[in-house]
Each structure stands twice: as structure tokens, then as C-alpha cells.
Amino acid sequence: MIRATIALLIASVPVAASADLKVFACEPEWAALASELGHVHVETFSATTAMQDPHYIQARPSLIAKVRQADLVICSGAELEIGWLPALLQKANNPAVMPGNPGYMEASRYVLRLGATANVDRAQGDIHPQGNPHIQTNPHNIAAVARALGDRMGALDPSNAAAYDTGLADFLGRWELAIDGWEARAKPLRGARSITHHKSWVYLEQWLGIEEAANLEAIPGLPPTATHLGRLTSKFREGGADFIIRSPYQDARPSEWLSERVGVTAIVLPLTVGGTEHAKDLFSLFDDIIDRLLKAKNHG
Ligand SMILES: [Zn+2]
């Protein structure tokens, strides 16, 4: 009897510190976006940091526990997380966030995917068989995902749907203004030519009118080889590129090696929030990407 009374008391105590919607994001940009839209109503967690390659992480027990508690799992999709997310979802065994249910969302479904290849490349090791999954490098894609995410958050947590609507409208208002600013500042980058380590930047390049001249990886996912770097040295010795781009978690040696031989500036760009000291949120992420590109172009 006493035990039953205590159980009742515990059950009736409001859990003040707990957010209404627990969001598990595979990548930092989606955690940042959920926070922008949901503010105090959401608790976000990102499985990866900007210093990790989102293609390859371990399905650690701490991540399984986070998925088990989540109301919503949001990931880039397009097989970006195929090496670890299916195992996480299976081990967490949380029906609400299983693919096909409202608690599971693939951001890349809401944008036009670039670079879908024929299956023949997959056999050779291409890790982008469903099109390029690195969609967050174009802020218009972020806006498209924001609209879908705001709706989804409202559907999963109807008591706060009005707050999510307001959060979305407020975010989109500031975001569209910021995009205008970035596009104006980035005009000198139009027509620039890039060499990128991994094919991480195709959406950014399409947005800003940058031409991708080459990749250090001969096939997405295969590390740069001496043979391929040798070919690139011959190809770009007489010019033809403005910068060599890598992400913070990528090996610096191939881009520095090529940079020394062809005289093209090698730069690090933050691929997501937290990738550099300046990229603290989604807004400063794009501020920093454009700053770094302009600086490299002017020094070239
Ligand atoms: Zn990739």
C-alpha cells in the first residue's frame, strides 16, 4: 500500500527539466536546425561532431541509449550513415523512430539530390550511390529541410505546434536575409575552379557558381592515391584551379602535397556547425565558408 502511494506520488511529479521533444540528429547541422526551430521545447543531440567523417563512426552504446530515448531521428540520408545508423536503430529498438514512421526523417528527401550515379560506380567503391548526401552546403537546402522539419516537429508534439510554426517563420525570415547577403558577397567566386578532397561541396559549388575541376579522391570514399595525385599534378601545373578544399577531419597531407607542387592554395572549410572556431551556428557556418573562399581567391 505504501509502495503504491509512493509510486503514485512519483508519477504525478512534473518532470520540469525535460524537453518536450527529444531530437537525435546524425549530423550537427540538423541538431542546430532543430534548436533554431524549437528553442526550449526541444532537446537536441548530434551523433557526430564536425571533426568526424559522418560516413564512418562507431555505433557506440551511448548512441544506442540516445536513439532509444529519441522522439525524432533526423539524418542526411542518401546512404551517408549506412555504415552505422541501421545498427544503431536496430539495437535501440525504438519503434517511434524506425524508418517509415513519423519519428524518422531523411533530410535529403526534401532537396534535389545531385550526382546520382549508375550502379557501376558503386562496385568500384563509390559511397554516394544514391546521389550526393552532403546537402547542407547549400543554404537553400537548409531552408527546404527547415520547412519539412518544422511540420514534423509539430506533428510529433502537437501541444507545441504553434511554437514550432513561429520558430520556423522567424528562422526563415532571418535565413532568407542571410542568404541574400551571402550571395552578394560571394559574387567574386562565380567561375572559380575548385579541387576538393572528397565530393563534399557539390551543393555549395552549384549554389555559388564554382566549378569543380577535380577531387583528390579518384572515387568518392577511396583515399587519394599517389597515382591519382601525380595525375592531378600534371593537370594543374599550368593553372586551372583557384583552391584545394578539404574538411577539418580529412588528412591534410594530400591537399598540402598537391598545393606545393601546383601552387594552388589549400584551405579547410567547415562542413558543418563546429567545424571551425567561427562556425558556431548555421549562420556563422556560411559566414565562415564564404570568408575563407574569398580570402583564398584573393591570395591566388
Ligand atoms: Zn561523402
Distance 79 CA to ligand 1 centre (A): 9
Distance 142 CA to ligand 1 centre (A): 18
pLDDT of residue 142: 98
pLDDT of residue 16: 46
Is there a contact between 188 and 294 (Cβ–Cβ < 8 Å)?
A: yes
Q: How does pLDDT run along the chain (300 residues), one tens digit per residue?
A: 455 555 544 444 444 456 799 999 999 999 999 999 999 999 999 999 999 999 999 999 999 999 999 999 999 999 999 999 999 999 999 999 999 999 999 999 999 999 876 655 555 678 898 999 999 999 999 999 999 999 999 999 999 999 999 999 999 999 999 999 999 999 999 999 999 999 999 999 999 999 999 999 998 889 999 999 999 999 999 999 999 999 999 999 999 999 999 999 999 999 999 999 999 999 999 999 999 999 999 876
Distance 129 CA to ligand 1 centre (A): 10
Is there a contact between 201 and 212 (Cβ–Cβ < 8 Å)?
A: yes
Distance 226 CA to ligand 1 centre (A): 21
pLDDT of residue 19: 79
Other Cβ atoms less than 10 A from the Cβ of 18: the count is 8
pLDDT of residue 3: 54
179-217 as b/e: b if 16+ CB within 10 A = beebbeebeebeebbbbbbbbbbbbbbbbbebebbbbbb
Distance CA 270, CA 22 (A): 26
pLDDT of residue 1: 43
Question: Which one-letter DSSP state was computed for residue 283?
Answer: H
pLDDT of residue 122: 57
Distance 54 CA to ligand 1 centre (A): 8
Distance 1 CA to ligand 1 centre (A): 59
Distance 160 CA to ligand 1 centre (A): 35
The pTM (predicted TM-score) of the whole model is 0.92
Is there a contact between 281 and 273 (Cβ–Cβ < 8 Å)?
A: yes
Distance 198 CA to ligand 1 centre (A): 7
Residue 23 DSSP SS3? strand
pLDDT of residue 234: 97
Ramachandran region of residue 209, left (φ > 0), alpha (ψ -120 to 50) or beta? left
Distance 50 CA to ligand 1 centre (A): 14
Distance 10 CA to ligand 1 centre (A): 47
Question: Which one-letter DSSP state was computed for residue 42?
Answer: E
Distance 53 CA to ligand 1 centre (A): 9
